[in-house]
Amino acid sequence: MSSYYTTAKIKKIRKENYRVNTIELDCSLENAQAGQFVMLWFPRLNEKPMCVVRASPLWLSVAAVGDFTNAVDDLKEGDVLSFRGPLGKGFWFDKGAKSILLVGGGYGVAALNFLANEALKKKIKPVMVIGARKKEDIIFKKDFEANGIETLIATDDGGEGFKGRAHELAEKLLAEGRKFDCFYACGPEKMMQAVARVAEKNGIESQLALERYMGCGLGICGKCDAGGELVCKDGPVMTGERALKLAEFGICHRDTMGHKVKW
């Protein structure tokens, strides 16, 4: 973990869809783990957490949804960004794991790209489920397929692949007799809650990468409290069993003032 800032130049920007860009920086985070994040700093707009999509060179995927991320979205190749990290706890593989199911929703899919590549290095077979509202929201599909990873799509409107939610496709795979040693999920909290419940019901371990509003990324300010755990310090990755016991998980989150907001 590093609490010092690194400044790096934007080497390349890749458009994933109408909202998400992946930024390649001219630096590396060799010690980063899949599921960890960096606190990205932007002048006059403070900091925001961004998941590590690739460690070397460093990739960050940014969805333009607010003032901060829209400002980052306006940057060009050659501009510079400052960040500190990697921070938090990342994903891990249990000894003897052979086959795992990755379930990503929305731009949470980006974090699982890193995890899938790490699994391949350890001779673990990943199967990727990408959940999206519609076909145009799908990201990183070509990256997974280029690495020979079985990639399945679930869209709410049925525009591509399975019509339904990502956790429903996971249930379908289990009903067909597919075997997995662990589920890994990153995306909307309600989706991850559903994935954890599917895993629990079928006696399968799960790991989730939680996302909450963060102020410091170091466990000091308490803004990312999920009802018993600080996401930045105790997570963002934790077991599904642990997450399901949190008082606010899948029920509500906190705004910038710390007020509870229902999902």
Confidence band of 2 (pLDDT split at 50, 70, 90):
low
Amino acid (1-letter code) at residue 104:
G
First-to-final CA distance of the chain: 31
Same structural domain for residues 248 and 133? yes
Question: pLDDT per residue over 176-201, tens digit each?
Answer: 999 999 999 999 999 999 999 999 99
Written as six digits, the tokens of 27 are 């630096």
Domain assignment present for residue 22? The answer is yes
0.75 exceeded by pTM: yes
Amino acid (1-letter code) at residue 256:
T
Nearest-angstrom CA–CA distance, 214 and 129: 27
* CATH number of domain containing 65: 2.40.30.10
Question: Of the candidates 87, 117, 145, which is a domain's last residue?
Answer: 87
**Residue 48: which domain range?**
5-87
Question: pLDDT per residue over 115-167, tens digit each?
Answer: 999 999 999 999 999 999 999 999 999 999 999 999 999 999 999 999 999 99
Same structural domain for residues 105 and 76? no
CA dihedral 104→243→190→19, nearest 10 degrees, is -40
Q: How many domains is the chain partitioned into structurally?
A: 2
Contact 52, 58 (CB under 8 A): yes
Same structural domain for residues 155 and 232? yes
| CA max distance for the chain | 53
Contact 116, 147 (CB under 8 A): yes
Backbone φ and ψ of 14, nearest 5° = -115, 125
